[in-house]
Amino acid sequence: MQAPTPPRLLPPIPPLVRLLVCGVMLAAIAYLVGTWSTPAAPTPDAPQVEATVVAPDLDRGLLAQVADTSRDQRLQLETEPLRHLLRLAIDVGPTVAAALGMPAEPVPLATVRADLAKWRGRWIWYEGELVDLSGPRPGHPIDGYSIYEATIRLTDGEHAIAAFSMPPEPTIQKGSWVRIEGYLLKLRDTTYPLDLRAVPMLVGRAIQRDYEDWGPVRQLDPAVMAKVEDTSFWPQDPMWRTIEEDQGEPLWHLAAFARDTAGDRTFAEWRRIGILNAADLFETFKAGELLRGTPLRIIGTLIRRTTVAAPANPAGIKFWTVALVQVREWGGALVPIWVPKRVGDLPMQAQLEVRGLYYRRFAYEAKTGKRHFVPLFVAADLDRYELATDPAMRQVGLALAGVLTGLMLLFWWGTRRSSRETQEHQREMDARRRRRRERRAATRSSTSTSN
């Protein structure tokens, strides 16, 4: 007699359970692949000082004392509102100006005159030829400062006036092309030295030298880039300069070159360019052998992004975006990237593959007190990281998908076979029990009959 099939330890697996097991297996494989390809990056060693912008609070009550609806009113200059704005403007640099909502372009004078209530107290700017400069004169609300006043002629022949606190540079003379910016105080009339009617008067910090536009920059000038200073690591030396402190010809030149040649290389060509994350790049940078303007890709996580208004410059740059990118291979240090424009919405922790040009060495002190020096890059934009899939990787993916499909089919076939065997064994056991009960019943029946 053939021995019965031994019973299985597990009951038959329902189809729904098998489907759930397959789903769990696929999820586990996807999770392992994802975590394997993007390992966790170290905690960034952020700079010690967090950039915080506090916009000054205007005293609207004082500004309400300003009157400029008639010529007599425009000939007068209200002292207390002027002193109030001079006091606030002394601390307004490019970063604060951006926080105040300074427009990207000069506001047309017709727009200001048509809705003066809207623009009074707003931080705006104009550029033009300096036609009159006076000062210093007393009356400044802060000790040690004086009041200066400038009148400029705009490109359309209109005029604008500015009162400011900082002495103008010696190179700024009548006939210079300059930029004025500040809080709009009122519309002003003057009789001497110019007869002006209803021109905007701004109250700012300083008058700035403006420049004739360069036009497109298609080639780097080694002589300009040789002016960069970053050899000393001591605090307050050039290596520690921030974006506000480093405004000059080399930065403008490199930024304009990055912007104007951004479309010269295709995505595939950039992928053949070196990557900052490579191990040998650290030693090259540390030895000072990384040439200024060297194109490199920077792959990392966006940790911080701020935007500041650009001062007057010949490259036509209106805003700077300062990004700090955590590069895993640099041990948690943050690599700064300066972009000569306002970058659109980009979430923090976004994965980036920035196509940058090396500018100089940059030093900062972290919250832990540790000092870092890292490469500083200039880039045309902050590009998201896109995983490229070449034909070889696609073949590997197809092969892996085939193997996973085979394993799932094998698992399904095995569970189905096991279920069938278990059901067959169960039917055999049920038949044996029936036969045993029938024999017992027949035996009891024959015994009772014989009795």
Span 53-109, pLDDT tens digits: 677 889 999 999 999 999 999 999 999 999 999 999 998 987 788 788 888 889 999
Between 427 and 225, residue with greater pLDDT: 225
pLDDT band at 410 (very low <50, low <70, confident <90, very high): low
Percent of the residues in the chain that have a pLDDT greater than 70, as a whole number: 80
Distance CA 89, CA 55 (A): 10
- Provide the pLDDT for residue 393: 55
pLDDT band at 276 (very low <50, low <70, confident <90, very high): confident
- Provide the pLDDT for residue 28: 57
Residue 5 has pLDDT above 70, yes or no: no
- Residue range 282-295: average pLDDT? 87
- For the range 188-193, what are the long-range contacts, defined as Cβ-Cβ under 8 Å and sequence gap of 24 or more? 188/68, 188/74, 188/77, 188/161, 189/71, 189/74, 189/75, 190/75, 190/151, 190/161, 191/75, 193/132
Between 95 and 239, residue with greater pLDDT: 239
Residue 387 has pLDDT above 80, yes or no: no
Residues 6+ apart with CB under 8 A from 297: 270, 271, 273, 274, 275, 276, 353, 354, 355, 356
- Provide the pLDDT for residue 443: 76
Distance CA 305, CA 343 (A): 9
Between 44 and 170, residue with greater pLDDT: 170
* 163 closest CA partner among 143, 140, 142: 140
Distance CA 180, CA 405 (A): 69
Q: What are the backbone angles phi and psi of residue 374, rounded to the nearest 5°?
A: -135, 165
Averaged confidence pLDDT in the chain = 83
Report whether 37 contacts 157 (CB < 8 A).
no
Token readout for 227 is 């002016």
Report whether 126 contacts 179 (CB < 8 A).
yes
* 368 closest CA partner among 337, 338, 336, 331: 331
- Give tens-digit pLDDT for 193-209: 899 999 999 999 999 98
- Provide the pLDDT for residue 45: 53
- Provide the pLDDT for residue 346: 82
Q: Range with the lowest mean pLDDT among 145-159, 177-191, 336-350?
A: 336-350
Distance CA 206, CA 194 (A): 22
- Provide the pLDDT for residue 314: 92
- Residue range 404-423: average pLDDT? 71
- Provide the pLDDT for residue 40: 40
Q: Range with the lowest mean pLDDT among 81-85, 97-101, 148-152, 366-370?
A: 366-370
Distance CA 351, CA 330 (A): 16
Strands 208-209 and 319-326: unpaired
Token readout for 50 is 């967090």
- Provide the pLDDT for residue 427: 80
Distance CA 304, CA 349 (A): 8
Distance CA 161, CA 180 (A): 8
Residue 165 has pLDDT above 60, yes or no: yes
- Give tens-digit pLDDT for 20-62: 666 666 665 555 444 444 444 445 555 544 445 677 889 999 9
CA distances (Å), origin 240, targets 244, 285, 288, 336: 11, 17, 16, 12
Position 36, amino acid: W
pLDDT band at 361 (very low <50, low <70, confident <90, very high): very high
- Residue range 427-440: average pLDDT? 78
pLDDT band at 403 (very low <50, low <70, confident <90, very high): low
Between 9 and 17, residue with greater pLDDT: 17
pLDDT band at 398 (very low <50, low <70, confident <90, very high): low
Between 369 and 185, residue with greater pLDDT: 185
pLDDT band at 311 (very low <50, low <70, confident <90, very high): confident
